[in-house]
Amino acid sequence: MIISYVYAILSALFEALRNVSGKMGLKDMDEYLVTWAFGFFALPFLLLPYFFISIPPLGNQFWIAVISDGILNVIATILQLKAMKHSDLSLVIPLTSFTPLFLLIIAPLIIGQYPTFLGIMGVILIVIGSYILNIKKRILTTQRKNSDYLDPFKAMVKEKGPKMMLIAAFLLSITSSIDKIGVSNSSPLFWAVSVHVFTSVTLAPVLIHEFRNHTKLTGMDIKLLFAVGAFSALSLVAQYIAITVLLVPYVIAIKRTSAIMTVLFGYLIFKEKGIKERLLGSVIMVLGVIFIALS
């Protein structure tokens, strides 16, 4: 039992390290190349277990789920990376906590699941956390005549990075529901591999275009691209191992602590400002995610 919690924590750590390596890669590479790396370099780690297990029977909804989920994941990942490129990690990554909030709206429409009291409390905590995350916008504008208490929320929909991350979080709330359909029509591991293969194939023309335009990758660039895919895959593998013993909501709730880890990495590695309010906001948002998971 204890080792399962360790795997759940490792899943969060690998997710945070994926964010950090992605941010590093964006200094010299564009978001399309890094998105491709998410899928391609994760495949060796995800394909390895297939030497020991059989391919599951595929349900009738599998292929439509792969196509729709794959397209939305590509768009969401590109938006995430664009947000990371234009804003601090410690500001935009915690906004992924809005995914379960959006999911409470999307899930009833797609899979017929409705929020409980704990779910509603979780939503409130996520909103409070997001306000604290952007509280400096309120502090910096208190001297303006037209400032008001909604400035932190306005910052999220006006500034380029946070706005793109919120759109990505909304798209990921849709893919979360599609993931449930895809897994039920195959298996968790086969589904993960299928989505990553789709991502790699979809972005292959973009990759060819990059190199035709004389994109030159250094040894460090290749290492960072490999790290992005490797950490992405290791996070998924650790998550799947954890859910063999623990309840899925517990594992996902623990994995969401990657937002807190990412905020700390943003401060330690990239010397990002506003660590106190961003860390506090992230903790409150993750607590909201835990409430939703437990609901």
* pLDDT value of residue 136: 63
Q: Are 280 and 36 in contact (CB under 8 A)?
A: no
Q: Could you list the mean pLDDT of each consecutive 10-residue stretch along the chain, which spans 295 residues?
A: 80 90 82 79 76 80 91 89 85 78 68 68 78 60 51 66 87 80 83 83 75 66 85 82 69 80 88 82 82 73
Of 264, 250, 232, 235, nearest to 295 (Cα)? 250
**Using CB atoms within 10 A of its CB, is residue 120 exposed (0-12), middle (13-18) or buried (19+)?**
middle
* pLDDT value of residue 72: 92
* pLDDT value of residue 17: 92
Count of domains for the chain: 1
* pLDDT value of residue 23: 87
| Residue 99 domain boundaries | 2-294
Q: In degrees to the nearest 10, what's the CA dihedral of 177, 178, 184, 189?
A: -110
DSSP 202-227: HTHHHHHHHHHTT----HHHHHHHHH
